[in-house]
Each structure stands twice: as C-alpha cells, then as structure tokens.
Amino acid sequence: MGLLARIQSPADLRRLSGRQVDELAAEIREFLVQSVSRTGGHLGPNLGVVELTLALHRVFESPRDSIVFDTGHQSYVHKLVTGRQNFGDLRKRGGLSGYPSRSESVHDIVENSHASTALSWADGIAKANQVQGRTDRHVVAVIGDGALTGGMAWEALNNIAGGPDRRVVIVVNDNGRSYAPTIGGLAHHLDTLRTTRGYENFLSWGKRTLPRLGVPGQMAYDALHGLKKGIKDVVAPQGMFEDLGLKYVGPVDGHDTAAVEHALRRAKAYGGPVIVHVITEKGRGYSPAEQDSLDRFHAVGQIHPETGLPVAPSRFGWTKVFADEMVQIGRRRPDVVAITAAMLAPVGLAPFAAEFPGRTFDVGIAEQHAATSAAGMAFAGLHPVVAVYATFLNRAFDQVLMDVALHHAGVTFVLDRAGITGDDGASHNGMWDMAMLTSVPGLHLAAPRDEPTLRSALRAAVDIDDAPSVVRYPKGAVVEPITAIDTIDGVDLLARHEVGTGREVLVVGVGALVPTALAVAELLAAHGLRVTVADPCWVLPIPAALVKLAGEHDHVVTIEDGLAAGGVGSMLAQRSTEAGVRTPVQSIGIPLGFLEHSSRDQIVGDLRLRPEDITRDVLTALAAANPAGR
C-alpha cells in the first residue's frame, strides 16, 4: 500500500515525516498523470501545486481554516488529501467535479472556475470571522499570478489590506502562466522577484568583491548599507505589496515542501494579512508538460501517459474555423485588431497573433477591461474583435452595455464554447449569453450553424461599425455544411415538409441546434404536419422576415442552446405580438438553473432537448391548443 492510500484526511498528512511527504508528492504526481490521462482534465496546473497543497494542509487545519482556490482547477491534490481518491469518473456524472464542490466535501469552499475571485471570498470570510469573534482560524486564498491580472483581485487586496488584524494568508502561486504566459506590469515585477533574491545577495557580493578592489572593509560595509534602501526598492517586493499594508514572505521554492511549510507558518503566526510568494513550475515532474511551450497540458483530453499525445486526434473544430477566418480578415482589414483575456491559444487567436503581433492584445484575466479598452479602440478608428469563452462574457456585461453599446462602438465579441459544454460543470456552460444580451440596445448577435455561416457571420460582424456585434459558436467539431433551400430577407429556409394535411408549423433552429430542428421537422412531418425549418443566423435583433414567417404559420417552435427564459424564442414572441402576429411561439431551450457536470449528451437528454423529446412536447402543445382537432 502506497502512502496516498493511507491519507484519508489532512490530519493523516500532518503525521508524516518530511521524507514521507516528499515520497507522497512523487506518488501523487504519478497518480495524476495516470488518472487524468484516462479521464481528461486539468493536468498541468495540478502537477505544479503538489508540494504547495501538501504544505497548506500540514500548516493549516481545514475545514476550520478556510482554503479557497483561485481558480479551482488546481484543486485535484486538495481532493486527494481530503479523502477523495476515486478519480475514475473525474468530471463525469456521479464522479468528482473538476472543481471544488461543496456537495463533495466540507473542505471545499467555492466552485471557482471564474478567475480572480478568491481574494474577495477570503476577505468576506475573514470579515465574518472577525464580526463573530472567531479568532482561532485563518483564511487562505491560493491565487495564481495570472489571476492577479484581474482587476477584481486588486479590489479585494485593497480591502484585505484595510483589516490589519484579520487573519488572511494570500498564497501567490507564481508559475508565470495562466493559460499562457502571464502578461503586463505585474508579470514583469514578479519576473524581477523570481530572478532576484533580494538586496541581501547584492550585499553578499559587495562584501566579497569591494575589498578585492582595494576598498577598506568598513567603508565597503557603510557604502553598501547606505545603498540598502534604494536597492531594496528596486529588487524587493515591499515596494508593491508592503506599501499596501500587506506583509510579504518570499519568494519561496514551491517544490521544497519544508521551505513552503516554513513560510506558511511564519505567515500564520503573523496575525494579519500576509502574502506568501511561491514559485512553482506548471506541469512539474511530467516531461511532456515540462517541455511544452504551448501549454497544451493545462487541460487535456484522453492522452497516452508516456508521450502526452492524444488517444484520438480531434476533429476540425469551430475554434479553428474562427482562427483561419480571423487571419483572412486581418489581411484584408488593417483596422481589425484582436483582444483576448489570457486565452490567446484556447480561443483561436494564436495564428492572428503570429501574423499580426502588433495588432493583438492580451489584457490578462480582465474581461471588463477588454470590453472597455475595445470601446476606446473603436472610438480611435479600429475595429476590435474580443474573443472569450461565452461563460466569461458574463463578467463584462456592464461594459458591453454602458461602454460599447451606449457609445455605438463597433466592437465584435466572439464567444467560443457557447451553449452546453458539459463536463466542466455549472460555471463553464456558456448558456447565459443570448438571454443576457437581448437587453442590450442595438446589439447584433449571430449563431452560425456550420463553417460557411460562421465565416460569413464574422465577415458581416466586422462590417458593423456603429454597434456591438456578437458571434457565438459551440465547443467541439464542426458539423457538415447545411445548405439553405431558399433565403427570405436574410433568413435561411432549410427544409419544407408540405405533404401533410395538418397544421403548419415553423421550426426555428438557433446555431448548434439547427440539426436538431431539422430532425424535429422530419418527426413532425411523420405525424402529418406541414413543417418549415428556418435559420435566421443573425438572431438579434429579431429579423422582420422571421416575424413575417411566424405570421404565416399556425404554430412556431424555437430551439436554442441558451436559456429559454428571455432567450431568442421569448424575443420572437414579443416582437410578433408587437407586430400584431397572433401565432403562438413555443420556446424550447435550457431551463433557468445551474447544470452539474455531465457529458453534453447526458445534459441534452435531461433537458429534453433530443429531437424525439421536443417532438412530443410540440405535439402536446398543439393538442392543448386545439383539443377538438380542428
């Protein structure tokens, strides 16, 4: 039996000797590589925090001491040492979540996959402890240097520093990366701290060198110490952190458990807010990850553990189509620039950046800043394309509304992984964007169904110079092209089933669910209904042609991979009513709620979004509206 099997709680971990802790770290790395290579998941981040996590649980006493991870994808080691070692169904239904989950353990605080939030959680918990007189506990926030590029983290730091007697320990897990190399002024400062061990090294060098140059020992000593403050301000961190009122400890080798434990104990004993700066290596101990410069091991699918190569090659995906079209647009349009929030490669902007480095801006984990900065660029004559995951646009809604839309700024937002994504859990499903954006005046939103419509939508989006435009697409492989049989004022007609004698039904497919709409139409036609399938592609604002089509049918069904409440179907119903169209609109989409981690197919089944489920629901609605069969 290995050491890991004997660790069922952090108390077991605290009973190990230092040598045993090092053995356990090696065992955990082997476990992670073997397990995650079979299930997929966040491999690189967890390999980088093995010793750090062990040290945290040996110094602090979770759950009495609250440990908050930012982001939670680095919590696998935390799960292992808090009694959760069955990784066989990681990120699958019934198995462990890929993020902390309160339903799994009392040791988990936040399902935290939206970055830069942990410090605010820590501030709130520490304030609650203070108000309630809980002086026997600490709050620990583990935040990466990448997440420190987010403005919310600095708002929290400002507040944490305002409570000098609150027991908050901020562990900066500094590996120089988030999804990609960390950028910005903070990154440059941390680079200095990583490569400079403080002015003590300078003093040591001076004491050895100046006497050899003939400078008397006492004079050398006085001169060096006279320079102490200036040198300290240049190479030591107090200039940034301690001026905020935060005690600083570090930099510490994050793979030396004893050193990390020593630093954490010092921080714990201080009795006020402390930053512990820990230097780690993402992917530590796994050669394919250590040798990878593209960060392909941040999150992996199934891979061969020996080589790190995928078990099955991925099919040509939506992101690659966007990546290619962006380069083509960039060649034609010198005013088009690209913005990303620390996800250059995942959102497909790496090829654009390679060809147009001066027109590509990575702003760090700062979606709000990305949107408003884009508004400024538009004002100054550029057309910015802001590419983010759909779930992360939620964070910049105010900026889209008040900075971009209010000022009629021509900014294009490209939303990757829109709709149901599945195994990453509640916070990663990109299901909020369409319902959220229906309230933005003047906004144009496209949901392409295939590669040709995605390319067309992108070209049209960058031509809109007086309003925000949005192009959304799902995670995964692109479907085969779906050709329109007719187009009416911009609305594609994809199929007509006219042989039936029953009522006339218009089925409106939105984006990734267009194939579902086509399948539903065939099933309805088999029940004797006359069915037309339409795809507007540009779903916001609701096209007038779609409202007209609705008025020409007895019943309308909209099928979308976003929230049904307030979504495209709801907007079509509202616009139809305003136009005097009395045709009922049946909106089918995702119900209001949070979706737990499962496969996409399982979620689709649960939500009754399969063609046969939708068909039954439509037939039920038609029967209820016409009980006599008239």
Give DSSP secondary structure letters for 354-412. HH-GGGEEE--S-HHHHHHHHHHHHHTT-EEEEEEEHHHHGGGHHIIIIIIITTT---E
Query: Of all helices (H) and strands (E), which one includes residue 496?
Result: strand 491-497
Phi, psi (rounded to 5 degrees) for 488: -120, 105
Distance CA 304, CA 477 (A): 21
| 3-36 pLDDT per residue, tens | 888 999 999 999 999 899 999 998 998 888 888 8
Q: Which domains does the chain have, with CATH numbers?
A: 4-194+240-290 (3.40.50.970), 197-235 (no CATH), 318-472 (3.40.50.970), 486-625 (3.40.50.920)
| Residues of each annotated binding site | 73, 113-115, 145-147, 175, 286, 367
Sheet holding 530-535, edge to edge: 486-488, 491-497, 530-535, 504-509, 555-563, 585-590
Identify the band that residue 47 occupies on the pLDDT scale cut at 50, 70 and 90.
confident
Average pLDDT over the chain, rounded to an integer:
85
| 485-536 pLDDT per residue, tens | 999 999 999 999 988 777 899 999 999 999 999 999 999 999 999 999 999 9
| Residues of each annotated binding site for thiamine diphosphate | 73, 113-115, 146-147, 175, 286, 367
- Helix, strand, or coil (residue 214): coil
Query: Catalytic residues, which ones?
Result: 282, 367, 395
Looking up tokens 């440059």, which residue turns up? 188
Closest C-alpha among 81, 82, 42, 67 to residue 142: 67
CB contact at 8 A, 470 and 445: yes
Which two structure tokens, joined as six digits, stand for 54?
């062990």
Phi, psi (rounded to 5 degrees) for 83: 90, 15
Closest C-alpha among 391, 425, 314 to residue 42: 425
| 81-109 pLDDT per residue, tens | 998 888 888 888 878 877 788 888 899 88
Closest C-alpha among 250, 64, 245 to residue 171: 250
CB neighbourhood size of 247 (10 A): 19
Q: Is the pTM of this model over 0.85?
A: no
How big is the chain, counted in residues? 630
| Residues of each annotated binding site for Mg(2+) | 145, 175
Closest C-alpha among 559, 565, 554, 513 to residue 531: 554
DSSP lists the bridge partners of residue 534 as 493, 508
CB contact at 8 A, 29 and 47: yes
Distance CA 459, CA 463 (A): 7
CB neighbourhood size of 521 (10 A): 25
Looking up tokens 């007509």, which residue turns up? 496
| 136-191 pLDDT per residue, tens | 899 999 988 777 877 888 888 888 887 778 899 999 888 865 445 555 555 555 55
Identify the band that residue 75 occupies on the pLDDT scale cut at 50, 70 and 90.
confident
Sheet holding 168-174, edge to edge: 66-70, 139-144, 168-174, 274-279, 247-253
CB contact at 8 A, 613 and 559: no
Distance set, CA 484 to CA 13, 57, 157, 489, 495 (Å): 62, 59, 54, 13, 8
Distance CA 299, CA 44 (A): 7
Phi, psi (rounded to 5 degrees) for 269: -75, -15
